[in-house]
Amino acid sequence: MKTKFIDREIKYVGSQLSPHWIYKNFNIQGDAIIAFQGECKVDLTEMVDIEDVINNEPIYSKYMLSFISEQFGIGLSEGVFRQRLLITIIKELLEEYNIKVVRNGDDLIIDGKKLSVSIATKSITSILIHTGLNILSEGAPVAASGLTSELGINDTKSFAIEVMNRYTAELDDIKYACTKVRGVTE
């Protein structure tokens, strides 16, 4: 899996969660995960999470660290497992900063406040994952935590690169683990 931190601000509006967006915009073909920073404003018309649409819960963050991943040749269930793996890796990294984090499904919560948004969906060609972490918490429509504003993580670029490196290493290790076992018949 290829990784890249995009060193310019990008406003995440939801339309980026589409097939080949990474390839078309950054010339990265195949399985990939990228990260970027910027405002996040996802209107209900762009929401993939139908539950959020029904509950009239658009997403907003004044400044967010976003991860987008596109992965080919897997189904939606495996895509959701991989989304949860990404969330767990982020949780583990935060715990290395001595931050107490609660994971509830694909949500990361600190002191009762939401740090993350995340969704996995299926396109006609791939699985798409978006995970966003508030950098700043003010202005969020829910009680929110921010990497910088509450948690003191100022080097969010290095944080993002470490998350992507751990994620790809874990997926590589899973693939390796699948190749080293003998099949059994009984």
What rounded mean pLDDT belongs to the chain?
A: 96
The whole domain housing 53 covers 2-177
pLDDT number for residue 55: 87
Q: What is the mean pLDDT of residues 167-172?
A: 98
User: Is 182 part of any domain?
Assistant: no
* DSSP state, residue 144: B
**What is the number of domains present in the chain?**
1
pLDDT number for residue 46: 87
Euclidean distance between the first and the last CA atom of the chain, given in angstroms as a whole number: 35
Which residues 6+ apart lie within 8 Å of 124 measured at CB? 19
User: Is 130 part of any domain?
Assistant: yes
User: Is 139 part of any domain?
Assistant: yes
Single-letter code of the amino acid located at 2: K
Check: pTM over 0.85? Answer yes or no: yes
Q: What is the mean pLDDT of residues 130-155?
A: 95
User: Is 171 part of any domain?
Assistant: yes
User: Is 90 part of any domain?
Assistant: yes
For residue 141, pLDDT over 90 is answered with no
pLDDT in tens, 9-68: 999 999 999 999 999 999 999 999 999 999 999 988 888 989 888 888 889 999 999 999
CATH number of the domain within which 153 lies = 3.30.930.10
User: Is 185 part of any domain?
Assistant: no
pLDDT cut 90: percent of the chain above it: 87
pLDDT cut 70: percent of the chain above it: 100
